[in-house]
Copies of this chain bind each other. A is one copy, B any other.
């Protein structure tokens, strides 16, 4: 997705240790025009999977997932890191490690909003080590729903996340795949 790659080259900042800062348009500030395009692109790529629901994790997955949900006209569920008191008992819970915060969090999804007859697309901001996405995959499995697609805005191919998803026979789509940060440069 060329406008995304251009944006990453223009505003992305490599901070070392494999960390790409995209706070100016996705992880702290959000560029709504770009987010609309991202939603449209995901919708195009997943148009034949007959999804019934989109699943993401708070926080940074919400914007691209909502943009996609708006185009596909599907309900969006975001896994919660802390169980609010409004959450029903016995949610689907999976542990995930945050790459950029160095912390471990539980992702919780209420069975009210993920059903055995659902066909689910998982959308997240990054596909890197696939730890968050794997936790979401496990939540989908626990619910009995069918996983029909995985989409990430930015993939860091050198972190091996995609290899962990290779056993899945569903489309795994990223909109900009970064191969390396050699010499502090972002290389697609």
Contact = CB atoms under 8 A, between A and B. Distances in A.
Interface string A100-111: 111100000110
Among all A-B residue pairs, the 9 with the closest Cβ atoms: A21-B86, A32-B69, A29-B113, A32-B70, A30-B76, A58-B59, A84-B100, A29-B77, A62-B62
B70 A28 contact: no
Contact of A82 (B21, B35, B76, B101): B101
Interface of A: 15, 19, 21-24, 27-33, 35-36, 58-59, 62-63, 66-67, 69-70, 73-78, 80, 82, 84-87, 100-103, 109-110, 112-113
A32 B75 contact: yes
B101 A85 contact: yes
Contacts of A76: 29-30, 32
A36 B80 contact: no
Interface centre among A23, A29, A59, A85 (most CB of B within 10 A): A29
B86 A15 contact: yes
A112 B24 contact: yes
23 contacts: A19-B85, A19-B86, A21-B86, A23-B112, A28-B78, A28-B84, A28-B86, A28-B87, A28-B109, A29-B77, A29-B112, A30-B62, A30-B75, A30-B76, A30-B78, A32-B66, A32-B70, A32-B76, A59-B80, A62-B62, A63-B66, A85-B100, A85-B101
A75 B28 contact: no
A58 B125 CA distance: 15
B59 A113 contact: no
